[in-house]
Amino acid sequence: MLVTWKYRPRNTFIQRLDPRTRWIFLFSIILALTIPEIWDYRIIFPLFVLSLTLFFMARIEWKDVRRAFLSIFILVFFIVGLNAMLFGRGGPSSVQDPTSPVLFWVVTVSKAWFAIVQIMRMLTMAFLAIPIPYTMDPNIYGTTFKRMGVSDKVSFTIDLAFRFLPTFARDLTITMDAQRARGYELERLKGGIVARIQRLAPLIIPVVMQSTVTGEEVIDAMDLRAFGTARRSWLKELHYAPRDYFMIGLGVTIFLACCILKWGFGIGDFFVPEFFTRLVTG
Amino acid sequence: MNDKSTWEFGTRQVVYGAIGAALYGVFSWATNILFPLPAAGNVTFRPAVAVLIFFAVAYGPWVGLLAGFIGNMIGDGLSGWGFYWNWSLGNGLMGMIPGLIVMAISDFRARADILKAVGWGTLGIIVGMLFASLTEMFVGGIDFNTALVGYFVPAFLGNLVVTVILLPILMIAFAAVAARRGR
């Protein structure tokens, strides 16, 4: 068993961006859609296209993201989308417009359009979030958070967690092999769910207990080197390039534009466009 | 529970926060990919949650918060899901709440202490998963019913089952290891 990161170096515009830029841009878009509560397709659709474009620019292969997308599509289309179409809850009250023509059963034109807008809105955020593990080097998470203002200790915890990962993955492999040698059949866990979870204990307990012992040794080593007594310096340096300023500027502009459009001009509320009503009602 | 020891954030908390996060990530990934447990409806069972709550109960709220937040980030990253801040923060809260009981646990083998840990763990699961589910109302624009029935209930039930089963086993094993180590 090999625990591998989804990250692979690719020579793409997305990977040349400073990791801080990626986080700031992601949060700008999330905030732009959520703080002023944007439900207008004229704003959401261009953002959807933008995030889809950035996703394709990351050049991640479909086989890598297939599993993640399958789960997200099931959630977005079946749990959220169907609920929005049948009940129209979650969005603004105008979705429940009683004068909206009924398409079938309880589904109205308004609810159907709302489902489409909501799915598009959620996918806009998902297309920006999914590429992160595939395109951001795990070795610079700690430095990134430090340079974004997070404390030394928290940033070091992040850094250390990523470094511990291969060790514990190896411990898990060794434990699995050792238990198999004793007749433990991981592939054939039998019984109900309670019994199956109980039978995972011989696998989980040794790894966790070994890690607590390892922890004490690491604490001693760090204390001997006076960890936490002064500000830390960080080996990796991060520098903004012009492209980073452009992306941060774009993210902030989108956020401000959404706020100004909604609160200054009243644009951004939910409404059903004429073309959709004509299309579905014939 | 607000004394200095509960909220202390030194080398010990940094190291066990990192270890908890790495284990939470590895076990989340293992049960997602390596040996998936059967799901009941949309309730999934993640044994990693019991490990998270154990670290919180043993080492305090900072360890629980960091292990939950970073561990969820690692688990989602390894499984290729992306990054969802509200679910990471919800997992952090799920670790932080049971960590508040750290000073009240004196014997990891005692029935009363195990019950306390399971009780606070359950509270942590409720608060953490409720936070993550309800913030989806603002982030995803879903309604209260979907947040509760579609998101919270499955997450709560799955996490509760693994905690009730595995947390006592982890605590009893830890008591033996701690006794042998002498600290």
Q: What is the pLDDT of residues B91-116, one digit of tens each?
A: 999 999 999 999 999 999 999 999 99
Residues with Cβ < 8 Å from A72, sequence gap 6 or more?
Answer: A123, A126, A130, B81
Closest CA to B75 of B57, B94, B62: B94
Pairing, β A107-108 against β A102-104 = antiparallel
| Interface membership of A148 toward B (CB under 8 Å) | no
The structural domain count of chain A equals 2
Closest CA to A153 of B10, B89, B59: B10
Tell me which chain A residues have a C-beta less than 8 angstroms from the C-beta of B66. Answer: 154, 157
Residues A268 and A203 in one domain: no
Residues A43 and A120 in one domain: yes
Q: Could you give the 3-state DSSP secondary structure of residue A89?
A: coil
Q: Of the candidates A224, A244, A263, which is a domain's last residue? A: A224
Whole-angstrom distance, CA of residue A59 vs CA of residue A12: 7
What ipTM was predicted for this assembly?
Answer: 0.92
The pLDDT-based confidence of A87 (bands split at 50, 70, 90) is: confident
Q: What is the pLDDT of residues B66-95, one digit of tens each?
A: 999 999 988 877 766 667 889 999 999 999
* Model pLDDT, residue A180: 87
How far, CA to CA in Å, does B175 sit from each of B99, B116, B183? Answer: 17, 16, 10
Percent of chain A at pLDDT > 70 equals: 94
Question: Rounded mean pLDDT of B44-70?
Answer: 94
Answer yes or no: do B141 and A89 touch at CB < 8 A. no
Q: Could you give the 3-state DSSP secondary structure of residue A229?
A: coil
* Model pLDDT, residue A199: 84
Residues A91 and A175 in one domain: no
Residues A131 and A46 in one domain: yes
The pLDDT-based confidence of B2 (bands split at 50, 70, 90) is: very low
Percent of chain B at pLDDT > 70 equals: 87
Least trusted range by pLDDT, from A203-212, A247-256, B16-25, B43-52: B43-52
Chain A nearest-CA residue for B137: A90
The CATH class that applies to domain B4-181 reads mainly alpha
Q: Which residues of B147-181 are buried (b: 16+ CB within 10 A; e: fewer)?
A: bbebbbbbbbbbbbbbbebbbbbbbebbbeeeeee
* Model pLDDT, residue A162: 87
Looking at the predicted structure, is the pLDDT value of residue B39 above 70? no
| Interface membership of B146 toward A (CB under 8 Å) | yes
Q: What is the pLDDT of residues A215-265, one digit of tens each?
A: 999 999 999 999 988 888 888 889 999 999 999 999 999 999 999 999 999
Closest CA to B12 of A221, A152, A235, A230: A221
| Interface membership of B172 toward A (CB under 8 Å) | no
Most B-contacting residue of A63, A200, A207, A209 (CB-CB within 10 A), to test interface? A200
* Model pLDDT, residue B1: 46
Residues A126 and A143 in one domain: no
Residues A68 and A105 in one domain: yes
Q: State the residue range of the domain holding A162.
A: 139-224
Please check whether residue A241 lies inside any domain of the structure: no
| Interface membership of A120 toward B (CB under 8 Å) | no
Looking at the predicted structure, is the pLDDT value of residue A35 above 50? yes
Smallest CA–CA distance, residue A156 to chain B, in Å, is: 7
* Model pLDDT, residue B43: 58
Residues with Cβ < 8 Å from B146, sequence gap 6 or more?
Answer: A79, A80, A83, A89, A90
| Interface membership of B175 toward A (CB under 8 Å) | no
Answer yes or no: do B66 and A154 touch at CB < 8 A. yes
Least trusted range by pLDDT, from A66-70, A205-209, B39-43, B160-164: B39-43
Q: Of the candidates A183, A207, A224, which is a domain's last residue? A: A224
Answer yes or no: do B83 and A194 touch at CB < 8 A. no
What is the overall mean pLDDT for chain A? 87
Contact A29, A124 (CB under 8 A): yes
Residues A104 and A169 in one domain: no
Contact B58, B170 (CB under 8 A): no
Looking at the predicted structure, is the pLDDT value of residue A190 above 60? yes
Tell me which chain B residues have a C-beta less than 8 angstroms from the C-beta of A129. Answer: 82-84
Looking at the predicted structure, is the pLDDT value of residue B125 above 90? yes
Least trusted range by pLDDT, from A117-121, A195-199, B114-118, B120-124: A195-199
Q: Which residue has the higher pLDDT, B75 or B63?
A: B63
Closest CA to A200 of A214, A185, A212: A185
Answer yes or no: do B174 and A212 touch at CB < 8 A. yes
Please check whether residue A239 lies inside any domain of the structure: no
The pLDDT-based confidence of B13 (bands split at 50, 70, 90) is: very high
Question: Rounded mean pLDDT of A11-25?
Answer: 94
What is the overall mean pLDDT for chain B? 88
Question: Rounded mean pLDDT of A2-11?
Answer: 74
Question: Rounded mean pLDDT of A1-30?
Answer: 86
Chain B nearest-CA residue for A121: B140
Residues A45 and A87 in one domain: yes
Question: Rounded mean pLDDT of A4-28?
Answer: 89
Please check whether residue A68 lies inside any domain of the structure: yes
Question: Rounded mean pLDDT of B19-34?
Answer: 85
Classify burial at B88, counting beta carbons within 10 Å of its beta carbon; exposed 0-12, middle 13-18, buried 19 or more: buried
Which residue among B21, B54, B137 places its CB closest to the CB of A161?
A: B21
The residue assigned the tokens 């960091």 is B66
Residues with Cβ < 8 Å from A47, sequence gap 6 or more?
Answer: A29, A32, A33, A124, A254
Residues A51 and A128 in one domain: yes
Work out the number of other CB atoms within 10 angstroms of the CB of residue B44. 18
Least trusted range by pLDDT, from A25-39, A191-205, B59-73: A191-205
Chain B nearest-CA residue for A74: B42
* Model pLDDT, residue B82: 66
Please check whether residue A14 lies inside any domain of the structure: no
Domain positions in chain B are: 4-181
Which residue among B21, B84, B173 places its CB closest to the CB of A205?
A: B173
Smallest CA–CA distance, residue B1 to chain A, in Å, is: 22
